[in-house]
Structure 1
Amino acid sequence: MKNIGIFTHDLYPYKPWGQGRYVYELAKNLRRVYEGKIFVFSPSPGIDDPYHVEVFGGSHASAGKNIGFSIKLGFVLENLIRKYDLGLVHYQGGPGGLFLIKKPSIPVIYTVHHTYYQQSAHIENQRWKKLLFLWEMFSYRKSDFLICVSPSTKRVLGRRYKLKEGLRVIPNGVDGTRFFDMNLPRIPNSLFFMGRLETRKGIDFLLKCMPVVKNGCRDVRLYVAGSGCLKRELEEMTEHFGLHENVRFLGVIDDRDVNEWYNKVSVVVIPSVFEGFGLNAIEAMSCGTPVIATDVDGLRDVVEDGVSGRLVPYNDVEGLRGCVLDLLRNDLERQQLAENGKNRVKALYDWQNISRQVAKIYQIVIGGSGETVRFHCF
């Protein structure tokens, strides 16, 4: 069985979110089901993995970050292919991911986490990222197969990138031994947000909703975990709205404490402008905590409105207020959503099943299974 090289800019635990966690979990689980060696290449230092290869260490701090890393990687990719006897290259794509400088001598596949088109279309101060859209499209067109983490991402690639063939949806997964129901007592009337404090994550929208939520529930508590460029602005908003007793900023919480936080709050709120997937949603659902999310790309693929969670339109203050108050007041609905959410995660987002699907793609693309797949024709 041929060796696989997974290339990523971010990697857990050095970069503990999104693509970094995806690659960490994928590689760990692939090694249980794939007979060849799974190498991971990234600039992340100090990774405790004998099959991790640090390439251009320190690139996280350089100008351009993932862009600069992509360019430098293009000059050494063939050397790495030969040195580690790789039979397939697996790039991580989308904002924060890698660009392909030129097609390598062996098959290459991409996991597309979300797209620059979505960022430029939905976030006003990131319109300039449309310039990266063409490079991103060039990279995908040079690949042999695309793994999309959600149906929303696949639709965007079809409609905006004109990629119709060689795409398959394989979602992110959740580690059930790390995110599970601890049966802890819940903090009454508590909400939890975890993520980067930036526009795309919608935390400013959530804070704008809190005064009207407070009008219906005086002792509501919102716990905000994370850091980012909006931190000072959000703290000022909290004071302006008189929410200093209702909103608590936790900063970046220790990775070992995340499961406990999911377990001790009443509801997790994910108010994003859009997502490639909705990793926080399946983590919370795995813990038996009901989720309120925005009805946007990525999240609507994960959360079934009224079944495994609740969906509200982004920027609909009254809609979010009503949804939050409904769940805080209705113990039975919270319990039903929580149970349905746990069942959905077990059925669809188990890492062992997901890693088998990815391993099957590896075998198809490198010709190991005898099956055929339709590739891009440009």
Structure 2
Amino acid sequence: MHHVASHTPLAGTHAVVVNWRDLEHSLAGGSERYAWEYATALRAAGARVEFITARDRGQRRHDLRDGIEVHRGGGAFGFYAFAACSLLKRRRTLDVVIDPECGIPSFSPLYVRRSTAVVLVVHHVHQEQFTTYFPTPLARLGQWLERVAMRRVYRRRRTVAVSESTRDEMFTQLDWDSPVSIIGNGTAAPLVAAGESDPASAEAFLAKDPDRLLVLGRLVPHKRVDLVLRAMHALRHERPGLHLDVCGKGPQLDRLRWIAADLDLADRVTFHGYVAESTKQALLRRAALHVCASDIEGWGQVVIEAAGYGIPTVARDVPGLRDSIRDGETGWLVPDSDDLAVVQTRLTDAIRSALDDLEAPRRRRLAFEASTTWAAGFSWSRMHHEAVELVVDERQALRGVPRHAPSVSLPASVTAAPAVTAATTER
């Protein structure tokens, strides 16, 4: 894409971001961060921005945050009617709609003018997740809406995926037949240089505890935190000092606490719930290894966040996670299987191997340097620039200027991270 010439290329533009949840929602995660960053980018480019979202318990109907007007209404399902009414009310003045798909999008093209630029953002394909969360009739409806209705409604609208895996899933699972651009996530990685001579790097490296594991993110079924707990149980005699910090909240919290108690892990696992940023940073500075056992991700946001603190990740080799981990360098990918018992064994073996590897200071240093270098390439400022460019390009296309080819955004560090081979016996 061409470079945006002005700092306010969207001055005088009215934009709306329609997202199922906002950052203050109790179930907010990486997709909410992405939606808010898109809103922030449009605001910085001069647009008047409104954020249309569901209303969680205790949330106000209207807020003003960072110059962005937040309007909340409806719950998990009522939100879609609220979004439709909100778009229809703004139809005459609306220039841009950013429409992230959180399983089911808002189908915004049905409620806005043809001259309104619409950008569909897809984090990952939810076909299998519908069967995990809903009874069969509702799951089949959700699958049809994502696989058939979404493709038809957004056929002539700009589409963005957050990773190569997501784009591949769209083509293979949804039979998507329109071009798909890629705009990756950013991260608020700390400014820690990877070089051994840098004092901040040396201090951060020395703070690592080789027996400290970390899980970051929402506690929902498809994150499979229970697999990590069972791995802790399997390793309890081999590594008596091993401890797991679980940082996040969600509907699975009580169940996971019960599993930990049942596995006699009460003194080995700490469930921190939702934590302040300072507490999360302290946990990130201490941990030596991050584990992500999710069934699927659009992009490993927590993986990159951990990498920014020099923490490699053990994760299943599934969409999204394979995009955010350089296998053998910034972490280790575990071959996946439809049999969860097989996944459990492989995940436990991979955690054991990674911990053995990271016991050696030299190996830990290589993982630290590779991870921080990798994370440094994923900035929100880069995402902001590409997000605004795409909107400007789409608005020009609606005026008859040919669109630019869909882009694939890769950070500069994609070839820069030093290699960390698989587990070794070196000490």
Structure 1 and Structure 2 fold alike (TM over 0.5): yes
Partner of 2:350: 323
Out of 20, 33, 36, which is 1:9 matched to?
20
TM-fit CA distance, 1:291: 1.2
Task: Note the alpha carbon deviations across 1:9-48, whole angstroms, 9 max, x for none.
Answer: 211234542222112223324444x343343333453644
- Structure 2, gaps ≥5 residues long: 1-9, 194-200, 407-427
Shift of 1:266: 1.4
What is the rounded CA distance, in whole Å, between the counterparts of 2:109 and 2:402 in structure 1? Answer: 29
Determine what percentage of the aligned residue pairs are the same residue.
Answer: 21
TM-score of the aligned structures, taking structure 2 as reference length: 0.77
- Which range moved further: 297-306 or 168-177? 168-177
Q: Which residue of 1 aligns with 2:96?
A: 88
1:93 alignment partner AA: E
RMSD: 2.8
Aligned equivalents of 1:237 and 1:72: distance in 2? 38
* Structure 2 CA distance for aligned equivalents of residues 261 and 212 of structure 1: 23
2: CA distance, partners of 1:27 / 1:258: 25
- Report the counterpart of residue 372 of structure 1 in structure 2: 403
Residue 162 of structure 1 deviates from its aligned partner by 1.5
Give the structure 2 partner of residue 52 of structure 1.
68
How many residue pairs get aligned? The number is 364
1:233 aligns to what? 255
AA aligned to 2:388 is A
Equivalent in the alignment of 1:279? 301
The change in CA–CA distance for 1:259 and 1:333 in structure 2 (over 3 A counts) is: same
Runs of 4+ in 1 over 6 A off after TM superposition: 178-182
CA contact (8 A) 1:179 1:259 kept: no
- Which aligned pairs between 1:166-245 and structure 2 lie closer than 5 A? 166-176=179-189, 183=204, 185-245=207-267
User: Structure 1 residues 97 and 251, CA, compared in 2 at 3 Å: closer, same or farther?
Assistant: farther
2:170 is paired with a residue whose SS is helix
Aligned counterpart for 1:25 among listed residues 33, 37, 47: 37
Separation in 1 of the partners of 2:396 and 2:186?
26
Unmatched 5+ stretches in structure 1: none
Question: How far 1:335 moved relative to its partner?
Answer: 2.4
Q: 1:129 aligns with which of 139, 155, 161?
A: 139
TM-score, scaled relative to structure 1:
0.86
Contact 2:84 2:111 in 1 (8 A): no
Structure 2: which amino acid aligns with 1:337?
Answer: A
> Which stretch of structure 1 is more off in the superposition, 165-174 or 130-139?
130-139
Deviations 1:91-135 (A, max 9, x none): 1113275344725202311111223314136x3866543321222
Cα distance 1:96–1:292, how it changes in 2: closer, same or farther (>3 A)? Answer: farther
Separation of aligned partners in 2, 1:234 and 1:42: 29
Does the 8 A contact of 1:94 with 1:115 survive in 2? no
Equivalent positions of 1:155-174 (< 5 A) are 155-174=168-187
- Within 5 Å, give how 1:60-71 maps onto structure 2: 62=75, 65=76, 67-71=77-81
Structure 1 residues 222, 149: CA separation in 2 closer, same or farther (over 3 Å shift)? Answer: same
Instruction: Report what 2:272 is aligned to.
Output: 250
Amino acid at match of 1:365: E
Counterpart residue identity of residue 175, structure 1: A
